[in-house]
Amino acid sequence: MQYLSTILVLLLMAAAGQAQNSRTPQETSEQHNVRMAWWREARFGMFIHWGVYSIPARGEWYMSQEKVSVEKYEQYPPQFNPVGFDARAWVRLAKRAGMKYVVITSKHHDGFCMFDSKVSSYDIIDRTPFKRDPLKELAAACREEGIRLCFYHSILDWHHPDAKGASFPRYREEYLKPQLKELLTGYGPIGVLWFDGDWIPEWSEQEGKDLYRYVRSLQPGIIVNNRVGKGRNGMEGMNIDTDAAGDFGTPEQEIPANGIDGVDWESCMTMNDHWGYASADSNWKSAATLIRNLVDIASKGGNYLLNVGPTALGTIPGPSVERLEAIGRWMAANGEAIHGTKASPLATTPWGRCTEKKLASGATRLYLHVFEWPRDGNLAVSGLGTVPRQASMLGSGLRPLKMRANGDTVVLRLPSRPVDTVDAVVVLDFSDEPVTFLPPVVTCALPVFLDTTEVTMETRSPGLEIRYTLDGTQPSSGSPRFSGPLRIANSATVRARCFYHGNGVAAVTERTLTRAVPEPAVKISGTHPGLRYFYYEGSWDNLPDFDRLQAADSGMTGEIGLTMCKRDDNVGVRLTGFIDVPATGIFGFGLSSDDGSRLLVQGNVVVNNDGLHGAVEKLGVIALEKGLHPVDILYFNKTGEKELSVRFAQGLAPLAPIPGSLFVH
């Protein structure tokens, strides 16, 4: 019988793209867009990780990573006296850098509150000699400078005794929510509530949705990140559930390869290797790298949240200030190519990046961010079906550049030397929306199917038509023209291309559709509930061959998890048994782990999530008959946080945790 393992990313990410922005039932799409408008306009913000962890000066995870007890950590607040703190100086620095909002840690994972909380005495007023509320001062400075104040607030809390285990609901209702109410009723309008700590086992997606509604009941116009719930895919940050809580995705320390149409996201990144102040960390990124990161993110329709970690004295480190001032000089000349822009409409930009802006007149402006200046002075811009009305260098008073059209390419004659060696910006002006040649978007209900599946296609630019084939040949002007959904009943290779005035333009989009034969169920008798587990100890960078290792322990477990692990680091687990599939169909599996893992069904690898990495979920599908199927789940963790979970769903249903009742051995 045929086994099939195909990544479901296209299906699930497309669904996530349609529902990335979780909204309350009372909010229409138009109301949501109004609420998000200022944030999309901003494109650039300052992240501030500041707390008593700046005293040991080894980063904000110091308490956890160095296993500092609550009692020992409580020695730091009485030493915290940031006499150098100047809210206006911080905000003005952010403004000079071209930033439009500031996100500061009101409470990080260490539980110490950087504001005057009446709910707790573990705060900057009651426990430090400073006796000032820096968030109040930042609120006033932000109002003066026209900057949006936003708060970061951790869901987890290493200090509070109720913030784990069975007591967590009391912590949530009697501590977490009351503190959020203080922040949202005592500091004026807040732009964003930026949650973190969502990975703890005590937290659930339903609790995230409840907290999302609670926060917006206090400030209806506030924006909330997707870490309020459990929908994000690890550090990649984008939601993979179709109904996950939150308004935008949160990639951490990385920039997605591409933007996703209709999905809001923000990359948060450090200037060196730490978020909180770390005195020994001198691995600073250059100002040029930071500027190009900003441009790269804007060109993909995202926001850039760039971090600073102030010292225990309340000053922003000199290297951070130097880089922000350099970014500010570039933004002073080129900020219009960032603020209020959207993702590039061009398929390829080998010389740099592109951003787009709709002008008030109805005209369209493309900003070409030239990282690599052409040696011969000719910049080739491909994929344009409309010749610009005018081309010019930004900052030159719109003095026209010479240009010529060559098919779908416009060639611009640039000055002999770049205006800026980091990023010189060329402006292309069009009277209205230009025709751009992008590959068509091909969407299938299920790339793997039992009987039939539906395929739709769309262009991303006006004036184009789509021609397609189903036999793997290249589309031509004589191929069928797409005019409506296609019903596919057999395995096929769909290839589609856009045509303009009868000529093929841009690249061909290809999708492989497979009609599957379900794996047969096995027949066994005398089963017992749960899975067998084998626990190992050792240091690995990849999954080892557990068959060659001696288990340190073994037993039975009723669900997928890591409760059998006797320590956090250098551990491995193998879970074996059978899954009782409730009905014949196509099943998607999501395997999440930190570090590596692998899921096998019927001895076939359905999801491979091996290697050293943070918490991330990978996806796969398989066709299964109703009944019992052998399943193996392999896992290891080297150092740091450990996590293992498996979700599944039939067909297009959202992924959900597998009930323990479906496992037998």
Per-residue model confidence (pLDDT) at position 20: 42
Same domain, yes or no, for 494 and 388?
Answer: no
Question: Strand, coil or helix: what is 449?
Answer: strand
Neighbour tally for 137: CB within 10 Å: 16
Report the percent of the chain where pLDDT is more than 70.
Answer: 96
Per-residue model confidence (pLDDT) at position 242: 64
Same domain, yes or no, for 56 and 154?
Answer: yes
Q: What is the pLDDT of residues 183-219, one digit of tens each?
A: 999 999 999 999 999 989 899 999 999 999 999 999 9
The range of the structural domain enclosing residue 653 comes to 531-664
Q: What is the pLDDT of residues 537-571, one digit of tens each?
A: 999 999 999 999 999 999 999 999 999 999 989 99
Per-residue model confidence (pLDDT) at position 12: 42
CA distances from 201 to 107, 166, 229 (A): 20, 11, 12
Distance CA 603, CA 3 (A): 10
Tell which of 488, 515, 542 closes a domain.
Answer: 515
Strands of the 266-269 sheet, one edge to the other: 223-224, 192-196, 148-154, 101-107, 44-48, 303-308, 266-269
Instruction: Answer whether residue 155 is part of any domain.
Output: yes
Whether 199 contacts 250, CB under 8 Å: no
Neighbour tally for 148: CB within 10 Å: 20
Same domain, yes or no, for 490 and 547?
Answer: no
Q: How many domains does the chain have?
A: 4
Instruction: Answer whether residue 19 is part of any domain.
Output: no
Instruction: Answer whether residue 56 is part of any domain.
Output: yes
b/e sequence 564-585, b meaning 16+ C-beta within 10 Å: bbeeeeebbbbbbbbbbbeebb
449 Cβ contact partners less than 8 Å away, ≥ 6 residues apart? 488, 513, 514, 515, 516, 586
Q: Is the pLDDT of residue 500 over 60?
A: yes
18 or 563: which carries more pLDDT confidence?
563
Same domain, yes or no, for 288 and 313?
Answer: yes
Report the percent of the chain where pLDDT is more than 90.
Answer: 85
Same domain, yes or no, for 106 and 224?
Answer: yes
- Please name the residue that has the structure tokens 């395995």: 491
Same domain, yes or no, for 157 and 271?
Answer: yes
Same domain, yes or no, for 416 and 476?
Answer: no
Same domain, yes or no, for 506 and 535?
Answer: no
Q: In CATH, what number is assigned to the domain containing residue 401?
A: 2.60.40.1180
- The model's pTM is 0.88
Strands of the 409-413 sheet, one edge to the other: 378-382, 409-413, 403-406
Whether 267 contacts 297, CB under 8 Å: yes
Mean pLDDT of 295-318: 98
Tell which of 404, 430, 456 closes a domain.
Answer: 430
Q: What is the pLDDT of residues 342-372, one digit of tens each?
A: 999 999 999 999 999 999 999 999 999 999 9
CA distances from 397 to 2, 391, 393, 586 (A): 65, 11, 8, 59
Let me know how long the chain is.
Answer: 665
Average pLDDT, the chain: 93
Tell which of 337, 367, 390 closes a domain.
Answer: 337
Distance CA 60, CA 63 (A): 8
144, containing H or E segment:
helix 134-145
Q: Is the pLDDT of residue 83 over 50?
A: yes
